[in-house]
């Protein structure tokens, strides 16, 4: 094992701007930047940029020591010993500081505010190793010379062993196990991270997500962000995601795109999915039809409770909600409704038409939003069915869609809160 002697630990911000002297005390310049080479888990400084308009570096092993006064070079150093910046070298200040990276612990997007460095001797050779990035507020104010105001704040460091080497100078920073760790985050947390990115970074980030992750995260965002993401995404990827989203959400997004873009994506979708979305897009914006989703479950009135429960297990994953069981005749006319609780406690051999409630509150697709809000509020419903003039069920409107109208500026996560609260209070059962 090679012994490593640590000569000192530094922050990059504390070294930048320091004067550089030769062994005789002659000032050669100051630390304008440092060039690093990142070909392993522990990137190393290869040289110091000491002149403003020159990309020539003082080799890091030519530094004798660091002091409060500045950097002192080894005896005998001459400017003929400088080395050029190579294509694989990266300036710390220019290409690493201020890059964004995901803080999975805090489920947020953060910036590299400073770098911790270790000055070591290994194999009788001096070298400087980059140890961690500082992503905390204290690191930011250290760069501004105001760290004394934040002495009580802990440093937030992320070791370079957790970060993938940059593929090129302009690449974004990625964690070594970001895909695996992102899978453990709630979709709302992923949505928050995405909303903090610019559109270029978003596209690259979403490409690295599993399809279901991308769908779930997209569903947590406001409509403007959803539209922006779909607009800049590869068309095939975008159409795949829209296919798997709830049809009403897909219709909302496509309705905000240009006619050409919208039709192009619809043409790439599976025919059945595209037709479902097209039907929803035909309704006026402020109507019940525009609010409803076609992802609901209904059952023939002559089924038994046991048969219904078995069928429900197959259909539930694709439904918007299963708190209500809608009962129809053979022509899909809405005949009645019962709650999931009523279904479960009933005897397996009981027919649905014997236990369903035949007085069903419903709305029609051309009813305005206010009527839908009034009905859901009056009857404390979690969902209301939408039927045509002949009583055929077309879809359902859920309470979270109504909250979008009542509180238009609230986040998607707040809707989940209100729905959960309703259920806990026992309303709509």
Q: Which residue has the tokens 């803080």?
A: 103
pLDDT of residue 404: 65
**What value does the mean pLDDT take over residues 265-290?**
92
| 294-319 per-position pLDDT tens digit | 888 899 999 999 999 999 888 877 67
Band (322; pLDDT cuts 50, 70, 90): confident
Band (423; pLDDT cuts 50, 70, 90): very low
Over pLDDT 70: what percentage of the chain? 90
3-state secondary structure of 86: coil
Lowest mean pLDDT among 320-329, 332-341, 357-366: 320-329
Give whole-number Cα distances, 297 to 162, 314, 382, in Å. Answer: 46, 10, 14
Band (219; pLDDT cuts 50, 70, 90): confident
Instruction: Please list, residue by residue across 170-184, b when 16 or more beta carbons sit within 10 angstroms of its beta carbon and e when fewer do.
Output: eebbbbeebeeebee
C-alpha–C-alpha distance, residues 59 and 45, integer Å? 9
Domain ranges of the chain: 1-176, 291-424
State the Cα torsion 375-226-290-398 to the nearest 10°: -30
Lowest mean pLDDT among 26-35, 40-49, 360-369: 40-49
User: Cα-flanking dihedrals φ and ψ of residue 16, to 5°?
Assistant: -65, 130
> Residue 213 pLDDT more than 90?
no
| 371-382 per-position pLDDT tens digit | 999 999 899 888
Residues in the chain: 429
pLDDT of residue 5: 83
Q: Which long-range contacts (CB under 8 A, 24 or more apart) does 257-263 make?
A: 257/227, 257/230, 257/231, 261/231
C-alpha–C-alpha distance, residues 236 and 240, integer Å? 6
pLDDT of residue 341: 92
pLDDT of residue 419: 44
Over pLDDT 90: what percentage of the chain? 49
> Residue 407 pLDDT more than 90?
no
| 244-277 per-position pLDDT tens digit | 888 988 999 999 999 999 999 999 999 999 999 9
Superfamily (CATH H level) for 291-424 = CBS-domain (3.10.580.10)
């Amino acid at each position: 094992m090679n012994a490593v002697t640590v000569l000192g630990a530094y922050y990059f911000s504390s070294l930048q701007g320091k004067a550089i002297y030769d062994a005789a005390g002659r000032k050669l310049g100051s630390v304008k930047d440092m060039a690093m080479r990142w070909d392993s888990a522990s990137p190393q400084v290869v040289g110091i940029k000491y002149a403003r308009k020159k990309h020539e570096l003082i080799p890091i092993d030519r530094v004798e020591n660091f002091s409060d006064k500045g950097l002192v070079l080894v005896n005998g150093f001459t400017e003929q010993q400088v080395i050029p910046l190579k294509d694989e070298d990266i300036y710390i200040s220019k290409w690493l500081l201020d890059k964004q990276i995901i803080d999975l612990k805090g489920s947020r997007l953060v910036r590299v505010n400073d770098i911790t460095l270790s000055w070591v001797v290994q194999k009788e050779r001096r070298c400087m190793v980059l140890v961690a990035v500082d992503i905390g507020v204290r690191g930011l104010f250290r760069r501004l010379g105001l760290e004394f105001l934040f002495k009580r704040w802990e440093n937030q460091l992320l070791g370079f062993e957790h970060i993938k080497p940059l593929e090129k100078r302009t690449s974004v920073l990625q964690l070594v196990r970001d895909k695996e760790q992102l899978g453990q985050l709630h979709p709302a947390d992923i949505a928050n991270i995405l909303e903090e990115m610019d559109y270029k970074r978003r596209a690259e980030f979403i490409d690295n997500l599993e399809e279901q992750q991308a769908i779930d995260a997209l569903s947590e965002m406001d409509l403007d962000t959803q539209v922006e993401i779909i607009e800049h995404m590869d068309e095939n990827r975008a159409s795949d995601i829209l296919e798997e989203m709830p049809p009403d959400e897909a219709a909302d997004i496509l309705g905000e795109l240009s006619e050409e873009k919208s039709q192009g994506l619809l043409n790439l979708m599976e025919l059945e999915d595209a037709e479902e979305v097209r039907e929803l897009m035909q309704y006026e914006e402020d109507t019940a039809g525009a609010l409803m989703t076609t992802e609901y479950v209904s059952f023939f009135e002559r089924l038994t409770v046991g048969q219904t429960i078995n069928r429900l297990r197959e259909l539930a994953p694709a439904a918007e909600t299963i708190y209500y069981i809608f009962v129809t005749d053979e022509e899909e006319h809405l005949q009645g409704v019962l709650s999931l609780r009523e279904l479960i406690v009933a005897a397996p051999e009981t027919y649905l038409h014997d236990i369903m409630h035949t007085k069903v509150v419903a709305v029609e697709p051309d009813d305005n939003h206010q009527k839908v809000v009034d009905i859901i509020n009056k009857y404390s419903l979690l969902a209301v069915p939408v039927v045509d003039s002949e009583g055929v069920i077309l879809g359902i409107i859920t309470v979270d869609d109504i909250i979008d109208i009542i509180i238009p500026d609230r986040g998607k996560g707040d809707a989940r809160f209100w729905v959960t609260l309703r259920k806990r209070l026992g309303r709509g059962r």
